[in-house]
Structures are given as structure tokens and as C-alpha cells.
Amino acid sequence: MHERVEAEAQEAPAAAAAGTLRQGAVVERMLALQRSAGNAAVNRLLARQPAGQGAIDTTPVDFVFILGAKDDTALDVAKEHYRSVLMSSLTRRVISREEMDDPSLDGVFAYLSRFKYPLREITLVVHGTGNGTLQVPLNQGDDDKETTPDELEQAIKDGVLTPLNDGQITSKTRIRLQACFAGVRSRMVNLLDKAIGEGFGTVIAPTVEVGYAKDIWHSEGLTGWWVTSPKELNSDELALALKTKYGASVEHDDAKWAELAQKPEKHPGTAADGTPLFTYIANSLVTSVKPGNEDDPLLYTKSSYYYMPEEL
């Protein structure tokens, strides 16, 4: 969310608009579900069928949760984006921390458990870090206001998270973790996949920053391109390093890479062997997300935890 947090000094692991449905479209989906998933799926769809010829289905299947500290500028801008005309949809519900009795990760699970039908997309907009820590409490009893991978793993083992209902998370459910650098490591991505629906869905998290452009819609995109180096880099060297890493994934010409390299964030550190290591983050530009970007393992990490019947 255009926040300034240090990406971990390692490469990312190798690894979208809701419309309205007419009565006929619902019938077509019912027949397709009956062929592929059986009567149970059809019954869930029937529970959502709009009444009357030409009626519009306004049942929410996409949920956006904007969570974190009060009066956070980046989160306020994210809220403006998701509630803009650009993102308006009859089947999308946007929920901010002020609208939740329990604005925690478990509170999200409890909120979603109220619904008894398949969900298409769940978006979690929170601050994040390169080790996967999310700036949102695990539950109401969490005093440190953040959820680490260790905390989430223990909560899963202890069974203390509110379970979702059978059939809510399917192979088509996408969970978008819009937290800066949260995909640099895959551990939190996979833990969240296990916590939300036992791996039936797919969690997607960025390896760079999430940013919001200064346009009328506060359009959501990517920023925070980063590289690491064992030595300090001048602007020309940094421009070349950024282009070498991201040139095949984002459309910037040499002049744009040079512009990005002018005022980077520099984070000195040390490698595992104690040698110097510098992390540079170029975050002066928000780049629009294009179709296919979320399939690029350099920009996003997808969960690899899958439901396996033999595990039962």
C-alpha cells in the first residue's frame, strides 16, 4: 500500500469484474454445475437464485476487507479506491475495520462464515512485510496488532480460528492478499490458504509494494521495485539492475528505469554469512496491474497448498 517497509534480502520464490446475472444465465450455471459438481453445488446455487424473470442477483460473492490501524492514510486511500465508481459492483461488498465487531484476521473468518454459498473472491487489504507478517491482529485477544506466520501456524494447529462453511471456498475462489511484499516468501501465503478453506482456493500475494495512483479513482497498482546488491549502487547501476530484474514483466523504457533509480530507498544490511548487503526499493511510480501480471512469479506468489484427500 505504498508503505515503506524493507523487503527481505532474497529473491521471490519461483513459483478479474463482477457482472449482473439474468435468469437465463443462472439456469445455464445450474446446468453446468450439475454436470461438473453434482446436486450439492446446484442446491447451493438455488439458494442464491433471484426471484422473478429478469431479476438481478445482488448476493455478494466478492468481499474486500480493509483492515489495520485507525487513521492510516494508505488504508484510507485504498478504501476510496474500492468504493469508487470504477470498482462499484452489485456483487462486491467492501468492509472496513470500523464496520466490523472484530477487525482481526479471525474476525474476517467469522464475518464470512455467515454466508452459506460459494465465494468467488476475497481481498484482504492490509500492511505487510517481506517475512509475511500482516499488520492486523490474529484475533480479539491479540495485543500486538499483527499476525506473524508463526502465530497463524500455531492458530491453525490449535484450531482456534472460526471455520468457514463447507462449500464456501472452491477451486475457483481467489484470495487476494494485498499486502506489500507479502509474497516475497511463500510461507504466509500457504498458511493463509490452509486457514481459509483448507487449500481449496488460491491465495495470491505481491512480491513488491501495492500502491495507489494519484488519479480520480486512486487506481490500485504495483510499485516498490527492489533489488539487492553486495555493494552500493549509483543511479545508473541501479537503473540497469531494476531493468534486468523486471524488464520482462513491466513495460518501462530506459528513461523510466533511470527516473525510478534517482531517489530509491536504501536499506543497508548483512547477508547470512555476515557480508554487506544493500536493498534498494524504487517506489516513486505506481504501475497499473495488467492481465496476466498475477501469473508472473516475479511479481506475485501463488499458494501451493492444495487439499489432498489422502491427508485425511
pLDDT tens, residue by residue, 51-69 = 455 556 679 999 999 999 8
According to the model, what pLDDT value does residue 143 have? 86
**Mean pLDDT over each residue of the chain, to the nearest integer:** 85
Task: Please state at what angle helix 149-158 crosses helix 187-195, rounded to 10 degrees.
Answer: 30
Q: Which residues contact 231 (CB under 8 A, 6 or more apart)?
A: 276, 278
Torsion, CA 251, CA 253, CA 255, CA 261, rounded to 10 = 50
Least confident of 26-35, 79-88, 110-119: 26-35
Residue 196 neighbours by CB under 8 Å, 6+ apart: 109, 122, 164, 169, 175, 203
Q: What is the CB neighbour count within 10 angstroms for residue 84?
A: 14
Please report the pLDDT score of residue 307 as a whole number: 57
The pLDDT score that the predictor gives to residue 58 is: 76
**Taking a C-beta distance cutoff of 8 angstroms, is the pair 151, 112 a contact?**
no
Lowest-confidence region among 4-13, 137-146, 212-221, 232-241: 4-13
pLDDT at 6: 38
Q: What are the pLDDT digits (tens) for 158-202?
A: 999 999 999 999 999 999 999 999 999 999 999 999 999 999 999
**Burial class of residue 65 (count of CB atoms within 10 Å of its CB; 0-12, 13-18, 19+):** buried
**Is residue 146 scored above 60 in pLDDT?**
yes
What pLDDT is stored for residue 57 in this prediction? 60
pLDDT confidence bin for 73, thresholds 50/70/90: very high
| Model confidence band, residue 33 (pLDDT cutoffs 50, 70, 90) | very low
Beta bridge partners of 263: none
207: left (phi over 0), alpha (psi -120 to 50) or beta: alpha
d(CA 16, CA 174): 10
